[in-house]
Amino acid sequence: MTTTTALNAAAADDYTSRPDASPTDLRHIPGLRGVPFAGRLPWMIRDFNGCLQEHYEKFGEVSFLNMGVGSGLLVLGPENWKQVYLDLDRNFSPKMGYMKSLGDFYRRCILLRDFDEHRFQRRVFQAAFKNDAMRGYLHMMNPIMQRHINSWEQQTAFQFFPGIKETLLDVAAKVFFGLDDLGEDARKLNQAFIDVAEKGMMSLIKKEIPGLKFHAGKKAKAYMDGYISRLIPERRRGEGIDFMSYVVKEKDENGNYFPDLDLTEHLTFLMFAAHDTTTSALSHLVMLLGQHPEWQERLRQEAFSLDKEFIDYDDMDSLPDLNNAFLEGLRLYPSVSMMTRRTVRACRIGGFDVPADTVLYLPPHFNHTMKEYWDEPQKFDPDRWGPERQEHKRHPFQFVGFGGGAHKCIGMHFAQMNAKAFMFQFLKRYRFETPVSYQPWMQIIPMPRPGDMLPLKLSRL
């Protein structure tokens, strides 16, 4: 077998010049090859978590996986994740890991920047996540959420998933870009965003031919980019307290603004990174609270105990049960079902020699349900996060719902604030029930959610 040192020699410098490189000889690593073209994808769509478990039982924490769209290594367990996330030797590239899935639409986004360049670009978000800014966002969010929540009372066959998706899109238009959530600009931007995600990124034929979904996605992305870039000078001049107004005023160490091209991409990607993830997390939490009415009631009492219409930024720590339930939902149903990296040079993972250009597949759900780290891991038990038990502190990478290391979710606190603000109002407004013995098929790809859109019976309180 070729040694790690020999393979190291050429690989690292030009690793980005090989976007489609695929390794590399992984025959020495056991795993499941699946069927021609599709690999293991059909099994993974049907039973994602079952497939991970099967790999683990047959081959251990590191195994070969053919995802159809590409193949690489399935990497499980917090110790291996620690190596990848901390990346002390700069072996693992998110840019190349995500190039296939995100590169067509978000090639310059923060997640597709590696190492020093990534650290430099991340500064652009600094001011936008400070406490005063967050306080302002929460004030904008609350009334928009209230309007949507109130409107649900009139719906006869209410489905939670489309309801929360629309709500959070309106919130995003206002909070991220300062657009009136009822205005035509917000509507068009939100539609373009949906077209990128649901048409462009989902298309199998990646050709810009009119009539194809990919083309529609590209047109929508061009619309978003054009709209946002034209807004930059106005937001820079103004005194706005929306997210974009902070980001476009950020300067580098030489006192220069970041280039418009980078800003536009960071802002459109931010919407992508923020929206589907929070929609997914809230859908799962509401599903779990429908299945566990005793917890729903407990959270409702906690919300009523604050005795106010909306939560304020200073109340974020005053809802510990809601906080724990949110994390517990994310543990059982991670919004990002698979993270990816690609090796930039040869290295060793889990005792195997791994060549350069090998894609690593990192699914959080496995770490989140390892019996070595969690008591009764399949049980919905928010108290495991409480001060008495603190189960999540057994290993720094047993919970990776927001990732870890240099690319750890920059919007983690924002996401929690968004979720709490919504749940606080929703719990006080309605008692909600899922259908009897509700066990829907759980979709994982492209985005985790209850497969039937989560029908709910709402009773006004």
Q: Where do contacts with ligand HEM occur on this chain (CB under 6 A)?
A: 94, 110-111, 122, 270, 273-274, 277-278, 281, 330, 335-336, 339, 401-403, 407, 409-411, 414-415
SS (H, E, C) 252-316: CCCCCECCHHHHHHHHHHHHHHHHHHHHHHHHHHHHHHHHCHHHHHHHHHHHHHCCCCCCCHHHH
Phi then psi for residue 113, to 5 deg, are: -120, 140
Cβ 325 to ligand HEM, closest distance in Å?
13
Q: Which residues of 376-410 are buried (b: 16+ CB within 10 A; e: fewer)?
A: ebeebbbebbeeeeebbeebebbbbbbbbebbebb
Rounded-to-integer distance, Cα 258 and Cα 251, Å: 6
Q: Shortest distance, CB of residue 440 to ligand HEM, whole angstroms?
A: 20
Nearer to ligand HEM, 281 or 444 (CB): 281
Smallest CA-to-CA distance from 40 within 16, 9, 3, 66 is with 66
Smallest separation, CB 110 to ligand HEM (Å): 4
Q: Which residue, 299 or 417, is less far from ligand HEM as judged by CB?
A: 417
What residue number has its CB nearest to ligand HEM? 411
Identity of the residue, 274 or 325, whose beta carbon is nearer to ligand HEM in the bound complex: 274
Nearest approach, Cβ of residue 270 and ligand HEM (Å): 5
Rounded CA separation 269/246 (Å): 16
Looking at beta carbons only, is 102 or 216 nearer to ligand HEM?
102
Minimal distance in Å, beta carbon 2 to ligand HEM?
28
Closest separation between CB of residue 339 and ligand HEM, Å?
Answer: 4
Q: Answer yes or no: are the C-beta atoms of 315 and 306 closer than 8 Å.
A: yes
Considering the complex, state which of residue 216 and residue 267 has its C-beta at the smaller distance from ligand HEM. Answer: 267
We find the least distance from the C-beta atom of residue 90 to ligand HEM, in angstroms, to be: 15
Angle formed by the axes of helices 412-429 and 260-291, nearest 10°: 40
User: Quick one: 7 or 369, whose CB is closer to ligand HEM?
Assistant: 369
Comparing CB distances to ligand HEM, the nearer of 39 and 401 is 401
The SS3 of residue 373 is coil
Determine the Cα–Cα distance for residues 260 and 77; give it in Å rounded to an integer. 40
DSSP state of 200: I
